[in-house]
Amino acid sequence: MDVVVLAGLLGALGHPVRLRLLMVLTGGDMYLSELAGVVGVSRALALVHLKKLVKAGLVDTRVVLMGEEARARRYYSIRDFEVHVSPELLALEVENVGL
């Protein structure tokens, strides 16, 4: 795993709200208002954190049109991922980048 990708992934996992969002999503897809309510944060704050999780490739999003008035809901779902970091991997990546 590239050190830049690893840093982005660890950064995305490095906030308690994002970890709670991921844990909630293990129970199934949810839309923004649902997620915010379950996690106990505002919709705006949940959206900020969800965008970081999407950018890191940990969460997928899809829009569903609801009812005849064509109201849209954005649903979020967790992607399968594994994180394996060893001291050897870190040393190798740091050496490759020249840090």
Fold exhibited by the domain 3-79: Arc Repressor Mutant, subunit A (1.10.10)
Greater confidence, 41 or 1? 41
Whole-angstrom Cα distance, residue 7 to residue 48?
19
Count, in order, helices (H) and strands (E) of the chain.
Answer: 5, 3
Give the rounded distance of the alpha carbon of 36 from its chain centre: 14
> Which has more confidence, 89 or 33?
33
Long-range contacts of 85-91 (CB under 8 A, 24+ apart): 85/6, 85/10, 89/1
Using alpha carbons, select from 60, 16, 59, 76 the residue that is nearest to residue 40: 16
Q: What is the mean pLDDT of the chain?
A: 88
pLDDT tens figures, 59-94: 999 998 887 777 888 999 999 988 877 888 778 777
